[in-house]
């Protein structure tokens, strides 16, 4: 498991392209037959990806956690962005189609990731945060997430939002998780941009053609930076940083947060005209 430490706004303002990518971009999350985990010291969120083939992939015991098993003091959210698969948690099997979510609570000992077929593998995006209370394991389909249509074609951000793990959905200790899909011809996400110093966030981009990219903007409102992101890559967003982006085509992205609260609407918006 890779470890990423925190960076201050002043330090980040001096970073070049390579330094920004090394600190805030998570690549190679969806490699066939592999599990990748990155431990961020922003609210101690773990970002991961698992792509099982014929054999299942188990959640390991990571020495860095100093625990008897991965979820001994943690909770986890899983969203499948690939083919149909199954996640087996303590012997109970949960089938996940594309864009379905599974929450695993503190104390879940054994977790196995599986694909139903080797040709069209499941792709599991994983977020894990420290937990103080046991909430039950729960699956949610995208239909159960009460999708909401927002935006307008005139501003190129017509989109559908699916909220899975939040105050009015699957219950958790601090993890918030959901996804947004942009309709054809729409490219902007999270506009107007915002910050929330009470919690960090991670953006995972998917369903982006290999020839296209997303320009992910970060940094303080008057000291912006950007990262060019490909399909199945994630951006770590510090609590002090804005997070919004634009693609060269439409795409989907999974948003996940950890920190002070679970209020989806807790955002300090930044007027577009004030950004520099």
Domain holding 208: CATH number?
Answer: 2.60.120.10
| Token pair listed for 195 | 């910050």
What is the reported pLDDT for 111? 98
Model confidence, pTM: 0.97
Average of per-residue pLDDT across 152-176: 96
Nearest CA-CA partner of 59 in 78, 31, 81, 82? 78
Average of per-residue pLDDT across 57-81: 97
Is residue 59 in a domain? yes
pLDDT interval class at 146 (50, 70, 90): confident
Is residue 43 in a domain? yes
Is residue 199 in a domain? yes
pLDDT digits (tens, 9 = 90+) for 212-262: 999 999 999 999 999 999 999 999 999 999 999 999 999 999 999 999 999
Is residue 2 in a domain? no
Provide the mean pLDDT of the chain: 96
Domain extent at residue 151 = 7-132+140-274
Is residue 221 in a domain? yes
Sign of the dihedral through C-alpha 55, 57, 61, 64: positive
Q: Is 192 a residue whose pLDDT tops 90?
A: no
Is residue 1 in a domain? no
- The H or E element containing residue 20 is helix 17-24
pLDDT digits (tens, 9 = 90+) for 175-191: 999 999 999 999 999 98
Q: Is 264 a residue whose pLDDT tops 90?
A: no
Residue length, the chain?
276
- The H or E element containing residue 11 is helix 9-13
Average of per-residue pLDDT across 16-45: 98
DSSP for 253-273 reads: EEEEEEES---TT--EE--GG
What is the reported pLDDT for 187? 97
Calculate the dihedral angle through the C-alpha atoms of 266, 39, 138, 261, rounding to the nearest 10 degrees: -20
What is the reported pLDDT for 235? 98
Is residue 185 in a domain? yes
The total of structural domains in the chain comes to 1
Q: Is 104 a residue whose pLDDT tops 90?
A: yes
Is residue 186 in a domain? yes
What is the reported pLDDT for 251? 98
What is the reported pLDDT for 123? 98
End-to-end CA distance of the chain: 36
Burial environment of residue 139 by CB neighbours within 10 A (0 to 12, 13 to 18, 19 or more): middle
């Amino acid at each position: 498991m890779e470890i990423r430490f925190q960076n201050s706004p002043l330090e980040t303002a001096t970073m070049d392209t390579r330094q920004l990518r090394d600190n805030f971009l998570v690549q190679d999350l969806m490699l066939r037959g592999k599990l990748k985990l990155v431990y961020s010291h922003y609210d101690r969120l773990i970002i991961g990806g698992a792509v099982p083939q014929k054999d299942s992939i188990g959640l390991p015991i990571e020495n860095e956690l100093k625990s008897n098993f991965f979820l001994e003091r943690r909770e986890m959210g899983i969203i499948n962005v690939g083919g149909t698969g199954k996640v087996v948690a303590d012997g109970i099997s949960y089938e996940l189609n594309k864009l379905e979510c599974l929450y695993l609570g503190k104390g879940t000992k054994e977790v196995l990731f599986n694909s139903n077929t080797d040709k069209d593998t499941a792709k599991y995006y994983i977020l894990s945060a420290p937990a103080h209370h046991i909430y039950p394991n729960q699956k949610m389909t995208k239909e159960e997430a009460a999708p909401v249509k927002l935006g307008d074609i005139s501003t190129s951000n017509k989109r559908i939002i699916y909220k899975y793990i939040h105050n009015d959905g699957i219950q958790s200790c601090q993890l918030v998780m959901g996804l947004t899909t942009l309709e054809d011809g729409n490219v902007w996400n999270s506009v107007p941009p915002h910050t929330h110093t009470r919690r960090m966030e991670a953006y995972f981009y998917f369903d982006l053609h290999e020839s296209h990219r997303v320009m992910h903007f970060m940094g303080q409102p008057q000291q912006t930076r950007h990262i060019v992101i490909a399909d199945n890559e994630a951006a770590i967003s510090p609590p002090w940083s804005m997070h919004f982006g634009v693609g060269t085509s439409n795409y989907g992205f999974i948003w996940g947060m950890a920190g002070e609260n679970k209020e989806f609407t807790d955002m300090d918006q930044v007027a577009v005209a004030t950004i520099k």
